[in-house]
């Protein structure tokens, strides 16, 4: 059992609590029989201008949180499940669509998933959301997404979004045996509660990232994430590692030369 497994249990409790409060829930299962595919817009970041926006999820005017939970135990993840707690895209659009509180959690399972592929999974999730008519801004544990009017008219939904994301990461991340996605649109308080869980998960993920960076070869610093350093929540960790490398190099250079004079 790894440290993040306890938060998988906490997330299940959170889901049950929302349902017991009377929140609407919808559950779909991705067709796992079809070959995992790539999103049609992969490689191109879609642009959704404000005047073309029908729905804004998260962002600066409300709560928005997104995080990843990894476990090595596939039995803890309901493979292919897409769960939505709260209104779907058509209902949100009818209610105005501006500044919708939004939460998103991706659960992934497979051998070594907790530590070995966390960064790769985050990177592939960014690629998985490059879908025409859907633009994700921000970084780290916050999310700000726009859905265009054209995408809404064409039937964009959280079921479709979740299906694209699962298909992509199942095909792109080696060793993944199970993946599921939870979306929350049921209100500000519900998303804020999820954000609290996410902040604890993020703290633990910092420790995993720190362990990975310490294993990097002597004198070499690597970062595989595609998130800008300015918005990456792991930036303090990276700064700490850089400082450690500098201090160590200075210490090595200052070591006195020992041995008998010739």
Dihedral class, residue 34 (left if φ above 0, else alpha if ψ from -120 to 50, else beta): beta
Beta-carbon count within 10 A of 5 CB: 16
Indicate the class that CATH gives domain 5-204: alpha beta
Cβ-based burial of 246 (10 A; exposed 0-12, middle 13-18, buried ≥19):
exposed
Q: Give a three-class secondary structure readout of 33-83.
A: CCCCCCCCCCCCCCCCCHHHEEEEEECCCCCEEEEEEEECCHHHCCCCEEE
Spatial contact of 71 and 77, defined as CB atoms under 8 Å apart: yes
Beta-carbon count within 10 A of 10 CB: 14
Which range (20-34, 69-83, 143-157, 197-211) has the least confidence? 197-211
- pLDDT at residue 33 above 50? no
Q: How many angstroms from the chain centroid is the CA of residue 244? A: 28
Q: How many angstroms from the chain centroid is the CA of residue 141? A: 7
Per-residue pLDDT band at 226 (split at 50, 70, 90): very low
The pLDDT tens digits for 184-200 are 999 999 999 999 999 98
């Amino acid at each position: 059992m790894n440290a993040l497994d306890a938060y998988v249990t906490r997330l299940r409790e959170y889901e049950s609590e929302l349902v017991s409060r009377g929140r609407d829930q919808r559950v779909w299962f991705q067709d796992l029989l079809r070959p995992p595919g790539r999103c049609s817009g992969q490689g191109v970041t879609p642009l959704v201008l404000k005047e073309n926006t029908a729905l804004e999820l998260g962002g600066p005017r409300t709560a928005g949180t997104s995080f990843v939970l990894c476990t090595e135990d596939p039995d803890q993840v309901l493979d292919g499940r897409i769960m939505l707690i709260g209104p779907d895209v058509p209902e949100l659009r009818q209610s105005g669509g501006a500044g919708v509180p939004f939460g998103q959690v991706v659960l992934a399972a497979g051998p070594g998933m907790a530590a070995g592929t966390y960064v790769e999974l985050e990177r592939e999730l960014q690629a998985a959301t490059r879908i025409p008519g859907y633009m994700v801004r921000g970084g780290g544990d916050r999310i700000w997404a726009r859905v265009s009017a054209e995408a809404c008219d064409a039937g964009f939904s959280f079921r479709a979004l979740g299906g694209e994301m699962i298909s992509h990461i199942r095909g792109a991340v080696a060793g993944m045996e199970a993946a599921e996605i939870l979306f929350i649109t049921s209100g500000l308080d519900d998303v804020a509660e999820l954000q609290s869980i996410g902040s604890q998960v993020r703290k633990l993920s910092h420790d995993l990232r720190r362990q990975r960076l310490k294993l990097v070869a002597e004198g070499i610093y690597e970062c595989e994430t595609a998130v800008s350093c300015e918005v990456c929540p792991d930036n303090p960790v990276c700064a700490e590692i850089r400082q450690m490398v500098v201090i160590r190099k200075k210490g090595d250079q200052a070591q006195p030369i020992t041995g008998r004079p010739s």
